[in-house]
Structure 1
Amino acid sequence: MQIKTKNAPIAFGLRPLVMGILNVTPDSFSDGGRFTQAEALSSQVRTMLESGADLIDVGGESTRPYAEAVSEHEELRRVLPAIACIRELHRSIPISIDTTKAEVARQALTAGADIINDVSGLRFDPEMVRVAIDLEAPVILMHMRKTPKDMQDEPVYDDVVGEIMDFLAERISWATQQGLDREQIIVDPGLGFGKTVEHNLTILKHLQAFKKLACPLLVGHSRKSFIGRLLGLETQDRDLATALISSYCAAQGANILRVHDVRKTVQAVRLHEAISQAT
C-alpha cells in the first residue's frame, strides 16, 4: 500500500510511519506558543528529523476543545514560514498541512507541503476537495463531531466504532464521487475529537476494524487528555504513555502515528518491528 505525493510515493510496511507534530500556534493544548519564533521552530524541526520522523504535520490553527477559529490570513502567516523552514532543512520529507481552509491548503501545497490533513473530513470548506484534486495531494479524512469549539459538549454514541466507520465510509464515497482518487485517501478515527475517555479506549481496542475501509490508517493519540485522566498526568508528562500506545497501535495495523515526541515513538515502533520479524 502506498500514496503518491509530488516528491515521492509514501510506502507503508510493517512499521508504521511516525508523523511529527509541528504546531505554530499560540494556543495548542500541548505546545502552544513554543515554536512561533524562527530559532525555536528551526531547532524543533531539526530535532524531529534527527529523531527519525517520516513525515511532519504543520498546523496554524488550534483544534483543541473549545478553541476559537483564526482568520485565513493569520493561519497562512503562521504556517508558510514553518513549511519554508522544513524545506530548507530537508528537501523531500513529506509535509502535511493541518487545516480546514481550502486557500490555506492551496498556498501551503504550493509552498512545499504534500498532504492535506483536514480534521473536518472535507466538510467545512466546499473548495477543499477541488484543491486536493487540482494539486494531486493525498488527503487525511478525520472523524469529528461538530466543531472544535463544541465537540466536547456531551458526546454520545450508540456504537462509537460503527458510527465512525459509517462516517468515514461516507466521506470516502463523497470524495471519490467528486473525483479524488481513493488511493490518495488516509483515514483517522479522531481520538479526542468529540469523544469521552471511554470512547477513545473503545476506538483503540477495536482499531483493526478501521482497516476494513482499505485506506491507510492514521492515529493521533499523542499527549491527549484521556491519557491524563487515566493516569493523572499533566500534558508534558504523557510522552511515555503516548509511546506505549504507539506500540499497541503498531500491533493493530496503524500506518501513521501522529505524535509530539518523535524519538520515543520511533523507538517504540522499531522495537515492535524487530519483535514482529523475529523467528
Structure 2
Amino acid sequence: MVAVTKLFGIVNLCSESFTFSSEPVMSQVMRMINQGVDIIDVGAIPTNPKVSRLVTQQEEWVMLRNVLPGIINLAHEHGIWVSLDSFYFGTIRQGVEMGIDIINDQSGLDDPRILELLEYPSVKKAVFMHQCSLPTFSDKLVSGDIIVYLQEYISKKISFFNKHKVDISKLIFDPGLGFGKSIDQCYEVINHISEMRRFPVLIGHSRKRMVASLSPLENPSIEDLDMITFGLSGYMIAKQVDYLRVHNLKFYRKMLDMLK
C-alpha cells in the first residue's frame, strides 16, 4: 500500500469554536508547516453544537481580514496551499482576491456566484460539503440509508455542476461527518467511503462527537480526542482517503512517510 493522503491542518480564529487555540495564529501555522502539513485550512465560523447564534459575514471577515494575508504569505513561502473554510460568498470572494488556493464551502457550492470564483487561476480546488441545513449546528438529521442518500446527493451535485459548466477536476467531496448525521451514520460513511469516490474525498473527523464516543471517559481531554482521531486517521489512510482535515498533525507525516 502506498499512502496518497494529504493533510489539511485546521486553524480556527473564532473563540467560540470548541477547538479554539490560544496559541498565536502565525505560530500555529509555522508549527503545522514544520509538522508536514499540505494545506492550511482557515476558518472563523464555529460549528460547536453548543453555539446557537450564527456568526455574520461581517463578524467573520473582521476575524479574518488582518491575519489571512499573513497566513497566505507564510504558507506560500513554504510551498503550502491555503484553504478558506466558509459559506459566505462575500468572505470567499475576498479570500480569493487575497490569494487563497482552495475554497472549502460548508454550503456545498450551492451558490452560483461561488462557482464563478473557481475560474480564478489562483483557485486550485474547491470542497463541497454535505450538510442538512445552515447553520450547520442544526439538529436536523438524514433519515434512511445514509450511503444511498449521499450517492444520490453526489449525482444531483454533478448535474448542478455540469449545468454551470464547472471544471469537475477541481472539486473535492466532504461527506460532512457530524453535520446532519448520527454517530452511527458517520461510521457507516467511513466504512463505505469507497462507494462515494466519484470525487476525491476529504474527511473531517478530528475531535468530533463520533471520536469522543470511542473514549471510555465521559469528558475526554483534547489529548485523548487527538489520540483517537489519529487511530481513525490510520484506518482511513489505509483506505486511501484523499484528504484528512485534522487539528494536531504530530506523528501524521511520519506515518505517511513510512507508507510511501
Superposed pair shares fold, TM > 0.5:
yes
User: Could you tell me which amino acid in structure 2 is paired with residue 248 of structure 1?
Assistant: Y
| SS, match of residue 7 in structure 2 | strand
Q: 3-state DSSP class of the match of 1:263?
A: coil
Match of 1:75 among 60, 64, 69: 60
**Which structure 2 residues correspond to residues 101-112 of structure 1 after superposition, within 5 A?**
101-112=88-99
SS in 1 for 2:92: helix
Check 1:205–1:149 CA distance in 2 against 1; reply closer, same or farther (3 A cut): closer
Q: Deviations over 1:240-278 (max 9, x none)?
A: 11111111111112111100001233333334x24xxxx
Contact 1:224 1:235 in 2 (8 A): no
Give the alignment partner of residue 55 of structure 1, picking from 21, 27, 39. 39
Q: Could you tell me which amino acid in structure 2 is paired with residue 74 of structure 1? A: E
Q: 1:156 to 1:256 in 2, by over 3 A?
A: closer
- Structure 1 pair 173–82 and aligned structure 2 pair: CA distance change class (3 A): farther
Asked if residue 25 in structure 1 is aligned to residue 14 in structure 2, the reply is: yes
1:20-61 CA-to-partner distances (Å, cap 9, x unmatched) read 001111111222x635xxxx1111111100000000101011
137, 141, 146: which one pairs with 1:160? 146
1:124-163 correspondence runs (5 A):
125-134=111-120, 137=123, 138-148=125-135, 151-153=138-140, 155-163=141-149
CA shift for structure 1 position 147: 2.2
* Aligned AA (1:71): T
2:192 aligns with 206
Cα distance in structure 2, aligned partners of 1:108 and 1:56? 13
Q: Given the two structures, how large is their TM-score scaled by the length of structure 2? A: 0.89
More helix by share: 1
Residue number in structure 2 paired with 1:268: 255
Contact between 1:109 and 1:135, CA under 8 Å: does it hold in 2? no
Q: Deviations 1:137-167 (Å, cap 9, x if unpaired)?
A: 32101111122355324x2421101101211
Is 2:73 the counterpart of 1:88?
Answer: yes
Distance change in 2, residues 1:53/1:150 (3 Å) = closer
| Equivalent residue number for residue 65 of structure 1 | 49
Structure 1 equivalent of residue 162 of structure 2: 176
- Structure 1: stretches of 5+ with no match in the other structure: 1-12, 275-279
Matched-pair contact (CA < 8 Å) for 1:87–1:112: yes
Q: Which amino acid is 1:206 matched to?
A: H
Equivalent of 1:219, from 203, 225, 234?
Answer: 203
Deviation at 1:64, TM superposition (A): 3.0
* 1:27/1:57 CA distance change after superposition, 3 Å: same
Residue 29 (structure 2) aligns with: 45
| TM-superposed deviation, 1:84 | 1.7
Q: Distance in 2 between matches of 1:46 and 1:149?
A: 29
For 2:136 and 2:4, the matched residues in 1 are separated by 35
Which residue of structure 2 aligns with residue 10 of structure 1? none
Residues 72-81 or 56-65, more deviating: 72-81
5+ long unaligned stretches in structure 2: none
- Note the alpha carbon deviations across 1:200-223, whole angstroms, 9 max, x for none: 111111111111x1x211110111
Seen in structure 2, the aligned counterparts of structure 1 residues 166 and 108 have a Cα distance that, compared at 3 Å, is: same
Identity value in percent? 29
Structure 2 counterpart of 1:189, one-letter code:
P
State the SS of the aligned residue for 1:90: helix
Range with bigger deviation, 252-261 or 69-78:
69-78
Mapped to 2, the partners of 1:150 and 1:60 lie a distance apart of 14
Q: Return the letter of the residue paired with 1:243.
A: F
Cα separation, partners in 2 of 1:148 and 1:270, compared to 1, 3 Å: farther
